[in-house]
Structure 1
Amino acid sequence: MSESPERISMAGRLRNNFLTGLIICAPLAITVWLTFTFIDWADSWVTPYLPQRYNPQYYFDVTIPGTGLLIAVLFITIVGFLGKNLIGRSIVNFGESILQRMPLIRSVYKSIKQIFETVLREQSTSFKKCGLIEFPSPGMWALVFIAGDAQGEIAAKLNENGEEMVAVFMPPTPVPTAGFLMFVPKSKIVMLDMTPEEGAKLLISGGLIAPDYNPDGAVVPALPAPRKKAAKARRKGGEETTVIPPAET
Structure 2
Amino acid sequence: MLITLKTNKFTRQSLTENLIMKKLWTILLKGSVAVFPALFTLYFFYWLVTTIEKTVSPLIMFIIPEQYYVPGIGLLVGICFLFCVGLLVNAWIFKWVFGLGEKLLERIPLIKSVYGALRDFMHYFSPSGEQKELKKVVMVSINNMQLIGFMVSEAGELPGVDMPDDKVAVYLPMSYQIGGFTVYISKENIQLIDMSVEDAMRQVLTAGLSKKKTAP
Q: Same fold (TM over 0.5)?
A: yes
Measured on the aligned residues, the alpha-carbon RMSD in Å equals 3.8
8 Å contact kept, 1:194–1:211: no
The structural deviation recorded for 1:174 is 0.9
The structural deviation recorded for 1:42 is 2.5
Q: Which amino acid aligns with 1:70?
A: L
Corresponding residue number in structure 2 for 1:133: 140
Corresponding residue number in structure 1 for 2:163: 158
Tell me whether 1:85 sits opposite 2:91 in the alignment. Answer: yes
Q: In structure 2, what is the Cα distance between the partners aligned to 1:112 and 1:54?
A: 37
Corresponding residue number in structure 2 for 1:50: 60
2:147 aligns with one of 142, 150, 171: 142
Q: In structure 2, what is the Cα distance between the partners aligned to 1:23 and 1:167?
A: 36
Quickly say closer, same or farther: Cα 1:101–1:114, change in 2 above 3 A. closer
SS, match of residue 203 in structure 1: helix
Query: Higher helix fraction: Structure 1 or Structure 2?
Result: 2
SS, match of residue 127 in structure 1: helix
Q: Percent identity?
A: 20
Quickly say closer, same or farther: Cα 1:79–1:221, change in 2 above 3 A. closer
Instruction: Please list every run of 5 or more consecutive structure 2 residues that lacks an aligned counterpart in the other structure.
Output: 1-18
Corresponding residue number in structure 2 for 1:24: 34
Corresponding residue number in structure 1 for 2:49: 39
Corresponding residue number in structure 2 for 1:199: 200
Q: In structure 2, what is the Cα distance between the partners aligned to 1:108 and 1:167?
A: 20
Considering Cα pairs closer than 8 Å and 6+ residues apart, tell me whether 1 or 2 has the greater RCO. Answer: 1
Q: Which has the larger radius of gyration?
A: 1
Q: Which amino acid aligns with 2:84?
A: I
SS, match of residue 170 in structure 2: strand
Instruction: Please list every run of 5 or more consecutive structure 1 residues that lacks an aligned counterpart in the other structure.
Output: 1-8, 213-219, 223-249
Q: In structure 2, what is the Cα distance between the partners aligned to 1:27 and 1:106?
A: 34
Quickly say closer, same or farther: Cα 1:32–1:111, change in 2 above 3 A. closer
Corresponding residue number in structure 1 for 2:14: none
TM-score under structure 2 length normalisation = 0.67
- Count of residues in correspondence between the two structures: 195
CA deviation profile, 1:114-143 (whole Å, cap 9, x unmatched): 6268432622323323222234xx123322
SS, match of residue 157 in structure 1: coil
Q: In structure 2, what is the Cα distance between the partners aligned to 1:19 and 1:117?
A: 36
TM-score under structure 1 length normalisation = 0.60
CA deviation profile, 1:10-38 (whole Å, cap 9, x unmatched): 77775665444434322222211111012
